[in-house]
């Protein structure tokens, strides 16, 4: 088994930036990406803010190079994954055993919705090409083909933990000498189905979300994509630039408490974080920063917060939820936040938890509210907790 799995490249696209550089600028300036809907056609426009990527489908197609008939999910994936691969600058990429492990939850639903709205009004209408790429795996296959990845391609869909699971599955394939390079992460686009579904659950905030605030009202849905390029030690040694960091720990756990809610005592969250720490052979005192799952719902924040209290108390590392910037990007969230975690190590920074004014009374800690520079970030814990109790934690460590 390979001793270490290293992060050689990162790529991201979300409502706060179309690449890594723009995202870092927004995170430092405190510029959130939420607002009114401009590209999603919904009756909830003007009633619920969302965190949209600031391009139409046609504009995304121009940037990605994919056909405009391809789903928004695949377009976002292509742009972020290509940025990550270009960032890694791997020599002789075509001679290595490569994999693409991508996550999503909505697949090509943005196109399918358009088809059925037209078809139901008139059976002679509706473009069949809009349903060809409906299933989740299609987006991964389209991007893998464009990036010339042939050895291993798969799609993971475990709700909001999907991208985190993609990343540590990729790490396991490298550790077991099955692949040399894996582009891992995830993508998701906003759809009417998702927005209406979450609205039915009554967990969407009519204002900009404020995770871990006593008066939080819910989450804001977002979209985007985030990927890391994982490499073996052998490949890392051939790179012209040093890797960002290493993926030192990871764990997936399931509390099996409820279909759409976390256990109030944070059982799954606790198991995932504890398992990742055990895997990395680190203690709670080693963690410099926690990128919280932090959706802003009543249930999620108390569940995650309780688990952190039980595991880390009485001494807590700095922590924050970057969903206060990007909204909750569902299947993409673990990938986007993995990129942010890697950048925290690279640049010695900690992100603010926006709009946090009244800390939760039940918790003995308070997330950071200011952008902090010149921090010594040795180990970052990134949490991604999904529906059905599927909870995953990743640990990135300085080399």
Active site residues: 160, 293, 328
Closest to 247 measured CA to CA, from 144, 165, 350: 165
pLDDT, residue 101, reads: 98
Contacts of 398 (CB under 8 A, 6+ apart): 245, 345, 377, 378, 379
CB-based burial, 304-330: b 16+ in 10 Å, e otherwise: bbbbbbebbeeebbbbbbbbbbbbbbb
Alpha-carbon span 291 to 349, nearest angstrom? 12
pLDDT, residue 388, reads: 77
Residue 223 and residue 231 in contact, taking contact as beta carbons nearer than 8 Å: no
Q: Which ranges constitute the DSSP H helices of the chain?
A: 20-29, 57-64, 72-88, 109-121, 129-132, 136-146, 162-175, 192-200, 233-237, 267-280, 298-312, 323-326, 333-347
Domains of the chain plus CATH, in order, are 5-237 (3.40.47.10), 247-397 (3.40.47.10)
Going residue by residue through the chain, which has 399 residues, state the pLDDT in tens, using 9 for 90 and above.
558 999 999 999 999 999 999 999 999 999 999 999 999 999 999 999 999 999 999 999 999 999 988 999 999 999 999 999 999 999 999 999 999 999 999 999 999 888 888 888 888 888 888 888 888 999 999 999 999 998 999 999 999 999 999 999 999 999 999 999 999 999 999 999 999 999 999 999 999 999 999 999 999 999 999 999 999 999 999 999 999 999 999 999 988 877 777 788 899 999 999 999 999 999 999 999 999 999 999 999 999 999 999 999 999 999 999 999 999 999 999 999 999 999 999 999 999 999 999 999 999 999 999 999 999 999 999 999 987 789 999 999 999
Alpha-carbon span 146 to 84, nearest angstrom? 14
Alpha-carbon span 54 to 37, nearest angstrom? 10
Residue 160 and residue 330 in contact, taking contact as beta carbons nearer than 8 Å: yes
Alpha-carbon span 64 to 56, nearest angstrom? 12
Output the six-digit token pair for 304.
Answer: 């995650």
pLDDT, residue 1, reads: 54
Closest to 77 measured CA to CA, from 63, 56, 94: 63
How far from chain centre, in Å, is Cα 101? Answer: 13
pTM to 2 decimal places: 0.97
Closest to 87 measured CA to CA, from 325, 346, 385: 346
């Amino acid at each position: 088994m390979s001793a270490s799995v290293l992060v050689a490249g990162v790529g991201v696209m979300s409502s706060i930036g179309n690449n890594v550089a723009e995202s870092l600028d927004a995170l430092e300036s405190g510029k959130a990406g939420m607002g009114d809907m401009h590209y999603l056609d919904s009756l909830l426009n003007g009633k619920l803010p969302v965190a949209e990527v600031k391009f139409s489908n046609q504009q995304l197609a121009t940037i990605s190079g994919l056909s405009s008939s391809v789903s928004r999910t695949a377009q976002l994936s292509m742009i972020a994954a290509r940025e990550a691969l270009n960032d890694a600058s791997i020599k002789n990429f075509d001679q290595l055993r490569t994999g693409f492990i991508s996550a999503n939850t909505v697949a090509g639903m943005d196109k399918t919705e358009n088809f059925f709205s037209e078809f139901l009004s008139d059976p002679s209408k509706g473009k069949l090409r809009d349903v060809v790429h409906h299933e989740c795996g299609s987006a991964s296959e389209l991007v893998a083909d464009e990036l010339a990845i042939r050895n291993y391609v798969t799609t993971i869909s475990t709700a909001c933990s999907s991208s985190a699971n993609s990343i540590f599955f990729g790490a396991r394939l490298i550790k077991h000498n099955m692949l040399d390079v894996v582009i891992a992460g995830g993508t998701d686009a906003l759809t009417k189905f998702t927005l209406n579904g979450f609205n039915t659950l009554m967990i969407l905030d009519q204002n900009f979300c404020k995770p871990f605030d006593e008066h939080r009202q819910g989450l804001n849905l977002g979209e985007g994509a985030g990927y890391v390029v994982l490499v073996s030690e052998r490949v890392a040694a051939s790179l012209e630039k040093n890797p960002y960091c290493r993926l030192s720990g990871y764990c997936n756990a399931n509390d099996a408490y409820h279909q759409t809610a976390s256990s109030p005592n944070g059982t799954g969250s606790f198991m995932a974080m504890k398992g990742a720490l055990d895997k990395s052979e680190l203690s709670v005192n080693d963690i410099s920063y926690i990128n919280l799952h932090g959706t802003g719902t009543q249930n999620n924040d108390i569940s995650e917060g309780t688990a952190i209290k039980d595991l880390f108390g009485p001494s807590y590392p700095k922590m924050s939820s970057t969903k206060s910037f990007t909204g909750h990007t569902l299947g993409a969230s673990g990938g986007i936040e993995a990129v942010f975690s890697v950048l925290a190590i690279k640049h010695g920074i900690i992100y603010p938890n926006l709009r946090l004014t009244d800390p939760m009374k039940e918790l003995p800690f308070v997330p950071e509210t200011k952008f902090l520079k010149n921090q010594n970030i040795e180990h970052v814990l990134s949490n991604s907790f999904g529906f059905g109790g599927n909870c995953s934690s990743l640990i990135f460590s300085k080399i």
